[in-house]
A and B are shown apart, each in its own frame.
Chain A
Amino acid sequence: MMGWRAPIDRVVWGDPRRRARKLLQFAEVEAQGARDLFRTAEITRDPLLRRRLFAHGRDEVRHAALFRERGLALRRTLADPGPDSALGDGLIPGERGFDRLKVEKESMVALLAFIHLSERAAAHAFAAYGAALDHDPETQAVIARIARDEEGHMRYSLDELARLAPDRRRRAVWVARLRRLWRAYLRLALILADMISRAILTLLYFLLLPPFAWMAKRAARREAAGWHTCTDQSRDDGGGQY
């Protein structure tokens, strides 16, 4: 199913710098996922679900530690670990965990559907990464161990969904799927918008600002360092933004 991306995975996971960076990013994603799960546990009124969410959150904390430990071990073998992050965060949907989930704004059914799909995407992604890591058995073992847990999380979240909303289970999963697609589209649109706005603003910077920059620099040269007298607040009417 994920055969098309095997060559990409081999390239990404074949490079030790990227591999270390990815593992450390995963550690942060898992740690944030744990916070989201604990938060979900704090607001749910269902005791059984709460216990399961706690257990899941603890798993994510453990995963974060495993990823971090392995990422750091790899990083220490590198002469130059490079920058902390690639362009943007460089994460694909299966690697995003719960993707800045707004826990309080969602129904528990929607949250469970979202958790289920996120875990499923992660399980698939980790299975693919495991296949591309034959040359690094230690990282492969870490990923295989976590992938097994993700499958367990996938199952329990679906079981809980069935328990809490037996009639709406399918619908909830489909809605969550569509929302994930929408998020992916939004993310892409935002990246594009960001690139376009950057280009336009950079162009404006070099076209429009030079004369004003010259004046500002000239004024700055006249400004002495040290104390300045504060503006007279007695005439302040409190209304102004200036």
Chain B
Amino acid sequence: MKILGISAFYHDAAAALTIDGLPVAAVQEERLSRSKNDPAFPLRAIEWCLDQAAVEPEDLDAVIFYERPALKFDRVLTTLLRGFPHSWRIFPKAMKNMVGEKLWVRGIISAQLGIPVKRVHFTDHHLSHAAAAFLTAPTERAAILSADGVGEWATLTVGQARKQTGGSTEISLRREVRFPHSLGLFYSAFTAWLGFQVNEGEYKVMGLAAYGTPRFAGEVRRILQRTPDGAFALDLRYFDYHQAVDAAYSRRFVELFGPPRDRFEPIDLATPLGQHQADVAASAQLVLEEVIVDIAAALQRETGLADLCLGGGVALNGVANARILREAGYERIFVPSAPGDAGCALGAALWADRILFGQPHRDCADHPFWGPAVEPGDLAQLAAEDGLPFERVGDAALIDRMVDAIGHGAIVGWMEGAAEFGPRALGHRSILADPGDAAMRDRINRDIKFRESFRPFAPVVPAEHAATYFELPAGGARLGRFMSGVFPVRPEWRNRLRAVTHVDGTARVQIVEPAMAPRLHALLIAYGRRYGVPVLLNTSFNLAGDPIVTSAAEGYSTFRRAGMDLLVADNLMVRREHIRQDHKLEAVA
């Protein structure tokens, strides 16, 4: 069966295509439209997925949307009614938003693809998350936990699932916490209070938390309370997202934690104000961890299962994930490469195949590389036209030169094969650099990523060496596969890994197995052989505000703009010649 999964209209739209139960293509719309977190109907992504498999829309057996729009409308309307009369300002906006487009998804899909409406199906938002996590994971039985801002009504679900290769699949979500009580929206309120963009800046809160002391944990526990049945409830007097147009938190929240951060002013951790903000971030992070670890542990006791599949935007919180692994009693935790809404496109398609149409389960390839491939020929042409030196080299020579360049302080744009599906660069669209030089971290933050100095960079390490450098609990390697866990760097290596060790001595490490990314693995091994530490700094190949690069032209553009030293697309290497290139640019300006 050919099934197209779609997620759209909230944030980070995406499309994914499965054929006979296996993923063949998946990409976020932003990677093609070049508009960060693009929520629009993902027509470019759909076209690319279909082209990739040489499938026409009429060949599709089904198209499945990742959530139920009418049920979502029910939640929006009910929330507005419950908030009467305080919801009067948000009512026109919410109605125009829902009635203008989001409620007519079936018609939009049918019209855009030219397929009959009866081929368009829907599933639950959290079931899509659950399917994305479980059906791509190499496990036959697992507990399921998905948590995000909100889907239709659910904000967090727990359950369990089983599957057997060639056999049937069952995903059973047992319980849910419903809007407006939401861990995702709780965290987003702190994100907004700290002056970061909601749905984008949550990483920054997690990074900032490491600089703080959770001295406000008591206050945070007052607004995120545990219920007697083991779930949680927010004290809604501290939040405004359910009734205001432009605020996630209320005046009472401000009275409790102080005035929100001025988003135009940088966080200065040397000042009492900056430290206060870090302390609030640390407190929110701690309480989030306490709640989710406790829920995960209760689920483990209830199901007795050794594996946990985690989905939803909250699963991007690597610190919380690592604590679940350490404390909740699971042997392995599986977080897909795209645990957020984009990944629901793939989850919905797999759910439709296995459960809606009852097809036998087939094991999915355990990698994140479902996006468009880079074309080295395009890069060669661009470099030739601009007079930049480039060469095609074999794998061994390429790795040798890369090791040499990185060892001498070069920053490398690394593009290889198909792009990653999900928010993280996992070695196919990465910026790689020396992990041992703190000045390197500052240079990349300042000159290339243009981002806050408190945000850490991630290391990448071969699986067989990971435990040497990082304190991994049992199952840590699996969690590190898609960079989903934050683990301590071993004290004796922190100085050698200064550029990737966060202030609290941890790192969000990617653990590479040769089968998943053989060239990156070979590069790491060669680097280790030459310089003693098989670890590199790995950050996403993009500039601040841009999506991660997809094509060779985008990689080349970013390379030119960011002042990187070397650009690699498969076996093609382009070097930067600073003086000559700058001169050429000035001549035409």
Contacts and interface: CB of A to CB of B under 8 A. Distances in A.
Q: Which of A61, A206, A241, A242 has the most CB of B within 10 A?
A: A241
A144 B279 CA distance: 43
Interface string A5-47: 0000000000000000000100000010001001101110001
Nearest to B558: A38
Interface stretch (A89-97, A164-172, A207-215): A207-215
Contact of B82 (A197, A216, A227, A229): A216
B348 to A, nearest CB: 10
B70 A242 contact: yes
Which secondary structure dominates where chain A touches chain B? helix
A23 B252 CA distance: 32
B176 A241 contact: no
B272 interface: no
B386 A206 contact: no
B385 interface: yes
Contacts of B121: 238-239
B71 interface: yes
Interface bracket on B: 35 or more
Given A229-B175, A230-B173, A55 B386 contact: no
Interface residues of A, number: 55
A194 B102 CA distance: 18
Interface stretch (B223-231, B321-329, B412-420, B510-518): B223-231
A234 to B, nearest CB: 8
A72 B264 CA distance: 7
Contact of B560 (A54, A71, A228, A238): A54
Interface in A31-87: 31, 35, 38-39, 41-43, 47-48, 50-52, 54-59, 61, 71-72, 75, 81, 84
A84 B197 CA distance: 14
Given A238-B123, A241-B68, A241-B70, A201 B589 contact: no
A107 interface: no
B580 interface: no
A217 interface: yes
A186 B172 CA distance: 49
Contact of A233 (B70, B154, B172): B172
Interface in B470-501: none
Contacts of B88: 202, 205-206
A216 B173 contact: no
Contact of A38 (B71, B92, B228, B557): B557
Nearest to B351: A238
A230 B561 contact: no
A228 B176 contact: yes
A230 B84 contact: no
Interface string A139-156: 000000000000010001
Nearest to A52: B588
A233 B81 contact: no
B19 interface: no
Given A35-B546, A206-B88, A241-B122, A227 B177 contact: yes
B273 to A, nearest CB: 14
B545 A35 contact: yes
A238 B264 contact: no
B584 interface: yes
Interface string B159-171: 1000000000001
A227 B589 contact: no
Contacts, number: 149
Nearest to B357: A238
Contacts of A81: 262
Q: Which of A72, A225, A228 has the most CB of B within 10 A?
A: A225
Contacts of B177: 226-228
A88 interface: no
A230 B96 contact: no
B92 A212 contact: no
B588 A55 contact: yes
Contact of A201 (B81, B95, B585): B95
Contacts of B228: 226
A227 B561 contact: no
B159 A230 contact: yes
B411 to A, nearest CB: 19
A32 to B, nearest CB: 9
A116 B154 CA distance: 50
A39 B34 contact: yes
B9 to A, nearest CB: 13
B442 interface: no
Contact of B561 (A38, A59, A84, A226): A38
Q: Which of A42, A43, A58, A229 has the most CB of B within 10 A?
A: A42
A146 to B, nearest CB: 14
A2 interface: no
B70 A227 contact: no
A198 interface: yes
Given A50-B386, A236-B356, 18 more contacts: A35-B34, A51-B588, A54-B557, A55-B586, A56-B589, A156-B588, A201-B91, A202-B88, A202-B92, A205-B84, A216-B81, A216-B82, A226-B229, A227-B175, A228-B176, A230-B175, A238-B123, A239-B118
19 contacts: A47-B386, A54-B561, A58-B561, A81-B262, A197-B92, A202-B88, A205-B92, A212-B81, A213-B85, A217-B82, A225-B231, A226-B231, A226-B232, A227-B175, A228-B177, A230-B154, A230-B157, A230-B173, A241-B70
Interface of B: 34, 64, 68-71, 74, 78, 80-82, 84-85, 88, 91-92, 95-96, 105-106, 118, 121-124, 127, 154, 157, 159, 171-178, 181, 227-233, 262-265, 352, 356, 382, 385-386, 545-546, 551, 553-554, 556-557, 560-561, 584-586, 588-589
